[in-house]
Structure 1
Amino acid sequence: MIKHAHWKKRLAVALTGGLLMLNTVVALAAPVELTLEDSIAMALNSNPAIKMTDADRKSAELQIKVAKSGNLPALAIVHNDTLAHSGVDKVTDFNTSVSLGINLYTGGKTESDVSAAKLKLKVADSAVEQSKQKIKLDATNGYFTILQTKNALKVSQEAVDQMEAHLKNVQAQYAVGTVAKSDVLRSEVELANNQQALIKAKNAYDLAISNLNNIIGLPLDTEVTVKDELKHERYTMALADSIQYALAHRPEAIQADYNIDVQKEAVKGAESGKLPTVSANATTGWQDKDFPGADNNSWSIGLKATWTPFDSGVTNAKIKQSDSAVVKATEQARQTKDSVQLDVRQAYLNMSEAEKRIDTNQVAVEKGEEDFKIAQVRYSAGVGTNIDVIDAQVALTQAKNNYIQAMYDFNTSKANLIKAMGVPVVEVKK
């Protein structure tokens, strides 16, 4: 009896644990409801690209301190232990020195290094913003892809439902001898085609969800429910104004201008080689034959000036190298700004083209629905053909898919335009 009771107790514990694990799995598998803003915020908080650019920014910030050290004092402590052997004699020597040095004038090199480091920090800041804009675009496109495939899945399901209803009508009429067997067969074939399209639409929807999960940092098998719908919100800024905004705000264009200034500072740094340098140094030391060498104290204070009027053309060569780098940076900036303008123009024109298709396809959907209803009524009345109904249903499905595609193209082109313009990312913490 005792063993039997013990066995029952263990079984109860195991069942309880299993239920707890099952509840945990169910809780983890619960759908996640997301708005577009939610998706963007999650992507910004989890994507490693931002963390990498933040690390680069921190490195650039520390480089300013490194550059400023050229005009700051430096303290050095040196201790030497020496054992010398010459014939039968052994000599020990313990030497300790403390020196303090500072550059009083470097010909402008330190100041140029500091200015260049500050400019590189601005480049790094711009790179962080560029990374955020790219991630925002990826999240936006991923979210809109879910909306597109969700609507396409709905259209495919409607097509299957419509064809199933039509097939029942055809079968009923065939049963009473009012239509030929070919109508039944043709309708069955069309239903099979629609069912195949539905399978593909479901797969596209599942892939879109996995892709967004990957972008925003969720497990790939997380079930996502999107709250928004595809909308048509008109863009009001003119193309010329959009281009001007991009040239002033696009991170790549800003970086290109900063890179020119960095190379100009490099020219100043190279030119400093023609100027003298002045430094001051104070040293004190102790030397003795016994460790730690604390006797025989000595000290010195010195001022050192160095000027190299001739270095076999090395300084002039460095200056010319820096001048060439300025020319290269200038041309790269021009090339970058041309590319920025092209990006804006392409996104703007694609958006405008998609916007025109929205209105056209919306009308096509309305006409297609009316045509499909008429074809169904005519077929039921015996004055229309089965092909008329099938053709009307195919045309309606195509019109709906075209409308969804136009809405998707408009919204993604608009998102690409915002990215091409360099509109700053406003982070929303979730």
Structure 2
Amino acid sequence: MLNYKYTLIAILFSVTISFAQDSEILTKNKAVRIALENNYGIKMANNAVVIAKNNASIYNSGYLPTVSASAGASYSNSTSDLTAQDGTETKLDNAETKAYNASIGLNYTLFDGFGRKYNYQKLKETHNLSELEAKTVIENSLLQLFTIYYEVARLTENNKNLSQSLSVSKNRLKRSQYAYEYGQSTKLDVLNAEVDVNNDSINYINSQRLLANSKRDLNVLLGRNAQEIFEVDTNVNFELTFDNKTLQNKAKQHNIEILKANKNIELSDFDIKINKSGFLPSLSVSTSYALNQYDNAATSLFAEQYSKGINAGLTLSWNIFDGGSTKTNVANAKIYTENIKIEKEQIENQLERDVANALEIYNNSLFILSSEKKNVETNQRNFDRSEERFKLGQITSIEFRQAQINLLNSKSSLNTAKYNAKNAELSLLQLTGELLNNTF
């Protein structure tokens, strides 16, 4: 029964390998391209940019005139009893009256206290702000993408290490079985080896499950079928060197939150100017061309009437005093602008702290990564030596197992350290506004 279990595990390994050979290699650059095209959050952010662009169009500016046309017709049929001053009575049956009219008119605001001008400029800057908002969504989506991508990579490498460790345990079980058969070891060594194989098999299966779940998470984030089969690139390069002063300067110039704060200050300045336009008069012009025709009943002085002509006019209006609401709006807009400037100062202060913290985390991560590499090298030498001594019968299976576990744990720690360092690097790139300019 035990041999059957090992055969089944071997089959699972071969199936996994065959899938890996036939599956797509999803590189980091390709994952970014797919995310930019298919990610749901990015799609919605891009649509918000399109809406803002439409709002900033000349058609929504108030600079274009309005033209309206109207036409109508009416009909009446009535019976009238008429009595003249001399007492003469007249009765009109089914007296018909028909009326027709048509007109086209144009209205245009020549001047509205510059409110239209500043509102149009505000709409353009709002469009620019929406692009920054979309950039924020893209950055956050890419960070989320790489967090999951590197988790898939980490689990992929862990699976490889667990597979190798399981192979070592299976070989040890065979040696223990042969040694027991030839009377060179006890049944306890065989049982211990069987337990270790079972534990390693369970760990490998659990890791496979976590890897499959992480791949499905990545597919959903990429906006594609969750069951898509792929492998990831586990190579990670650290080619960037960071200096705190340089990072701080880049962050102040290119950080998205700083850029958004600057844009909000511009928008609030426009709000002040728009509200001040209420102190000034407005001037508008209107013109129309109309046609009117009446087919009158017999009671009317004229049987038919027809008129056509142009009407034009200028309207000047000035709200000399509106109870103080415009003054209040201007004062509140100024206070709001001041709050935006204070908020920017807060963002700058927090950004300086975040960059310093992120740089320290990154440097610590690189140190840990270097230390973990040395640990793996040490544990690998210890394992190789222990394996030789175990084959010669110079150490017990328990001591050999401990060397095996130490090597596996050090490799797992190295994987964790490697991807933690890369994620720390990406956080620095986001804080300095360089994430989207980086080649992955």
TM range (shorter): 0.7 to 0.9
Partner of 1:268: 273
Deviation per residue, 1:272-323 (Å, 9 max, x gap): 11111112222332333249x9932233332221111111112122223322
Query: 2:38–2:224: 8 Å Cα contact kept in structure 1?
Result: no
Letter in 1 for 2:107: G
Matches within 5 A, 1:217-256: 217-226=223-232, 228-256=233-261
Letter in 2 for 1:285: A
DSSP 3-state at the match of 2:385:
helix
- Alignment of 1:368 with 2:379, yes or no, is yes
Matches within 5 A, 1:248-397: 248-290=253-295, 295-397=306-408
DSSP 3-state at the match of 1:297:
strand
Give the counterpart of 1:148 among 144, 151, 154.
Answer: 154
Distance 1:168 1:138, change over 3 A: same
Partner of 2:42: 50
Partner of 1:59: 51
Letter in 2 for 1:50: I
Query: 2:189–2:397: 8 Å Cα contact kept in structure 1?
Result: yes
Matches within 5 A, 1:78-117: 78-81=70-73, 88=80, 93-117=99-123
Q: How far off is 1:356 after superposition?
A: 1.0
**What is the rounded CA distance, in whole Å, between the counterparts of 2:274 and 2:114 in structure 1?**
7
Matches within 5 A, 1:136-215: 136-215=142-221
**What is the rounded CA distance, in whole Å, between the counterparts of 1:364 and 1:157 in structure 2?**
20
Query: 1:67–1:113: 8 Å Cα contact kept in structure 2?
Result: no
Query: 2:97–2:295: 8 Å Cα contact kept in structure 1?
Result: no
Distance 1:424 1:285, change over 3 A: farther
Unaligned runs of 5+ in 1: 1-28
Distance 1:86 1:261, change over 3 A: farther
**What is the rounded CA distance, in whole Å, between the counterparts of 1:374 and 1:115 in structure 2?**
74
Letter in 1 for 2:39: N
Partner of 1:36: 28
Q: What TM-score comes out, normalization by structure 1 length?
A: 0.83
**What is the rounded CA distance, in whole Å, between the counterparts of 1:230 and 1:383 in structure 2?**
38
Deviation per residue, 1:344-370 (Å, 9 max, x gap): 444433322221111111111111112
Query: 1:67–1:110: 8 Å Cα contact kept in structure 2?
Result: no
Report which stretch shifted further, 111-120 or 169-178.
169-178
Q: Which has the larger radius of gyration?
A: 2
Letter in 1 for 2:231: T
DSSP 3-state at the match of 2:436:
coil
Q: How far off is 1:154 after superposition?
A: 0.7
DSSP 3-state at the match of 2:56:
helix
Q: What TM-score comes out, normalization by structure 2 length?
A: 0.81
State, as a whole percentage, how many aligned pairs show the same letter.
20
Q: How far off is 1:222 after superposition?
A: 1.8
Deviation per residue, 1:244-268 (Å, 9 max, x gap): 3233223332122111211110111
Query: 2:154–2:234: 8 Å Cα contact kept in structure 1?
Result: no
Distance 1:424 1:298, change over 3 A: farther
Partner of 1:3: none
Partner of 2:87: none
Partner of 1:407: 418
Query: 1:148–1:230: 8 Å Cα contact kept in structure 2?
Result: no
Query: 1:67–1:114: 8 Å Cα contact kept in structure 2?
Result: no
- Alignment of 1:416 with 2:427, yes or no, is yes
Letter in 2 for 1:408: Y
Q: How far off is 1:416 after superposition?
A: 2.7
Matches within 5 A, 1:5-44: 31-44=23-36
**What is the rounded CA distance, in whole Å, between the counterparts of 2:104 and 2:317 in structure 1?**
23
**What is the rounded CA distance, in whole Å, between the counterparts of 1:93 and 1:202 in structure 2?**
84
Q: How far off is 1:66 after superposition?
A: 5.2
Distance 1:424 1:410, change over 3 A: closer
Letter in 1 for 2:162: S
Report which stretch shifted further, 278-287 or 177-186.
177-186
Partner of 1:10: none
DSSP 3-state at the match of 2:307:
coil
Query: 1:60–1:120: 8 Å Cα contact kept in structure 2?
Result: yes
**What is the rounded CA distance, in whole Å, between the counterparts of 1:77 and 1:200 in structure 2?**
73
Letter in 2 for 1:251: I
**What is the rounded CA distance, in whole Å, between the counterparts of 1:100 and 1:79 in structure 2?**
15
Partner of 1:14: none
Letter in 2 for 1:270: N
Distance 1:223 1:69, change over 3 A: closer
**What is the rounded CA distance, in whole Å, between the counterparts of 2:54 and 2:389 in structure 1?**
79
Q: How far off is 1:60 after superposition?
A: 1.5
Query: 1:211–1:220: 8 Å Cα contact kept in structure 2?
Result: yes
Deviation per residue, 1:118-143 (Å, 9 max, x gap): 11011112223223323333333333
DSSP 3-state at the match of 2:144:
helix
Deviation per residue, 1:172-201 (Å, 9 max, x gap): 333444444333332322222211111112
Query: 2:74–2:99: 8 Å Cα contact kept in structure 1?
Result: yes
DSSP 3-state at the match of 1:102:
strand
Give the counterpart of 2:125 among 119, 122, 143.
Answer: 119
Distance 1:72 1:402, change over 3 A: same
Could you say which structure has the higher helix fraction?
A: 1
**What is the rounded CA distance, in whole Å, between the counterparts of 2:63 and 2:190 in structure 1?**
92
Distance 1:360 1:288, change over 3 A: same
Query: 1:41–1:427: 8 Å Cα contact kept in structure 2?
Result: no
Report which stretch shifted further, 361-370 or 57-66.
57-66
